[in-house]
Amino acid sequence: MTEHIAKSSTETSHDLRFIFDNKFVREMPADPEMDNHRRQVLGACYSFVTPRQATAPKLVAYSAEMAKDLDLSPTDCESEQFTQVFVGNHVLPDMAPHAQCYGGHQFGNWAGQLGDGRAINLGEVVNKQGQRYCLQLKGAGETPYSRTADGLAVLRSSVREFLCSEAMFHLGIATTRALSVIETGDQVIRDMFYDGRPKAEPGAVVCRVAPSFLRLGSYEIFTSRGDIHNLKKLVDYTIETNFPHLGEPGKDTYLAWFREICDRTADMVVDWMRVGFVHGVFNTDNTSVLGLTIDYGPYGWVDDYDPNWTPNTTDATGRRYRFGAQPQIAQWNLLQMANAIYPLIDDADALRDILNEYVTFYTDKWQQMRADKLGLSEFKAEDEELNQELNKVMQLAETDMTLFYRHLADLSVENIDADNDNLLAPLLIAYYAPDGLSKDDKQAIADWLRRYLKRVQQDGVDDATRKARMNQVNPKYVLRNYLAQMAIDKAEQGNYTLVNELLDVMRRPYDEQPEFEQYAEKRPDWARNKPGCSMLSCSS
């Protein structure tokens, strides 16, 4: 298939060596039309495209961990060839650049064909351990799926995606990865707030990495068009490639596959809730079939705890994708997936049973996660009321979610009978206006803390063991929006030091790292309403 791809004339002295095995391109149906213009693509999983040439690419940062998984050395990553390849200027032999075709439900409504509008998959590589990775450039130019857009991305969104992908990985959350972020040297026009004031911003390209970028919408598109032949072909390919342990395709295997998709999705969302991550645009086209966090757009991290908070300006009124609704949205998305694969199974009851199992599986994981965050050995039925009261207590005053749980570990059961002020002292750092806590607020919080410490006593775990447990699941460092924006502000001036420093900090989010204490602080007041530090649009 690679004979269709124009090779760049860029010459470099370095020699990046990859073993390409473009199974997806080789086995899935291709769009026969080679001209890169916007169109409806029928009967195909992808279209061949060529990345756009960048004028003056410059490496901003790369992930050493992801590079190592791809058998790349620091010398490789710091070479000119690396920059040229991963900005899209130089297509290596055996690469097969293409954009995937998929559809999706957006904000609860079927949107029809969507596809990779600004993502170009370079191909699939197999590392020395036999692991398969797809390399994808985001922001490298238009594709047949770009609709009215230009297929480009700006530096601010690229830095956010790069840093958050790696931060989520080190938090232990299933996610696509990021290899690099590279400035293009070109300006991109964007209307950041959709308010009629577009401006030129520096362009950039992120190299995203995952075993597969297939999402629920990849299957929905075929069913919506009545193309059951290609639906089956894609489902069988996915099982053979990414779920081989399930066995040969057939009804039972399809059901087992759907069950695993549900289980992986539940695991992912439980972890989102554990650390206070809000995806922001959890559409079916942004839901990975592998249970990976995918498509980092207007995401955000909960600063002051509010289950109704959404970081997405587009969702400001309906709040469909608010923090507290993510488990239910996941189930809704999975229902759409069940509808998509129904023609292969023809058993509504079996699919419905699995969706009901999702609720049970999620609830069990959610309960254990909440017990872990409180340092308890297990979740008991009576702990539900304890957690419901905590949910109320954390909303009495602006309470930083990350700092509250982290410093809850500092409490000692020996202080259970202390007065309110002494009992609350270790947690004051978590409040945005500690001096503004009313007497009633303090009393309610102290009452909950005493109830919690009594439960800890019943658990029979000493303070040191409990603290160690809690610090393994309650991060000290998360990529708060204002931190990412600070790094972006510097990067836009050509200074990439904070991008790389935050990348380094987020490698060990559960460790104390006293030299980086400033990155564990709650959101400063100046960032409360600053663009990029609170809510964001989908503009990229």
pLDDT over threshold 90, residue 535? no
Which residue has 């129904």 as its token pair?
Answer: 342
pLDDT value at 6 more than 60: no
Q: Is residue 127 part of a domain?
A: yes
- Confidence grade of residue 540 (pLDDT, cut at 50, 70, 90): low
Do 73 and 154 reside in the same domain of the chain? yes
Report the chain's mean pLDDT, rounded to a whole number: 95
Q: Name the region of 152 (left: φ>0; alpha: ψ -120 to 50; beta: rest).
A: beta
Q: Of the residues 216, 240, 267, which one is the last residue of a structural domain? A: 216
Number of helices (H), then strands (E), in the chain: 17, 11
Give the pLDDT confidence score for residue 539 in this predicted structure: 58
DSSP string, 225-280: TT-HHHHHHHHHHHHHHH-GGG-S-SHHHHHHHHHHHHHHHHHHHHHHHHHTEE-S
Among residues 116, 227, 285, 400, the one annotated as catalytic is 285
* Residue 194 confidence (pLDDT) above 80: no
Query: In terms of domains, do 447 and 388 share one?
Result: yes
| Mean pLDDT on 240-267 | 98
How much of the chain exceeds pLDDT 90, in percent?
A: 93
Domain end residue (candidates: 425, 460, 495): 460
Query: What are the tens digits of pLDDT across the range 132-172?
Result: 999 999 999 999 999 999 999 999 999 999 999 999 999 99
Question: What pLDDT digit, counting tens, does each position of 56-65 carry?
Answer: 999 999 999 9
Q: Is 364 a catalytic residue?
A: no
* C-alpha–C-alpha distance, residues 294 and 287, integer Å: 7
Indicate if the pLDDT at residue 4 is higher than 50. no
The answer as to whether 364 is a domain residue is yes
User: What is the model's pLDDT at position 17?
Assistant: 86
Sign of CA dihedral 11, 6, 231, 119: positive
Q: Is the pLDDT of residue 3 over 80?
A: no
Quick one: 260 and 182 in the same domain? Answer: no
Tell whether 223 is covered by a domain: no
Q: Tell whether the model's pLDDT for residue 452 goes beyond 80.
A: yes
Of 190-204, 225-239, 279-293, the poorest mean pLDDT is in 190-204
Overall number of domains in the chain: 3
| Claim to verify: residue 420 and residue 356 sit in the same structural domain | no
Same domain, 340 and 410: no
Domain that holds residue 406: 383-460
Which of 309, 344, 373 is the endpoint of a domain? 373
Q: What is the mean pLDDT of residues 509-516?
A: 98
- Fill in the DSSP letter of residue 138: E
Are 209 and 259 members of one domain? no
What is the CB-side half-sphere exposure of residue 401 using CA atoms within 13 A? Answer: 22
For residue 11, pLDDT over 70 is answered with: no
Considering the domain boundaries, does residue 506 fall inside one? Answer: no
Q: What is the pTM assigned to this prediction?
A: 0.96
On whether both 16 and 162 belong to a single domain, the answer is: yes
Whether residue 508 is contained in a domain is answered as no
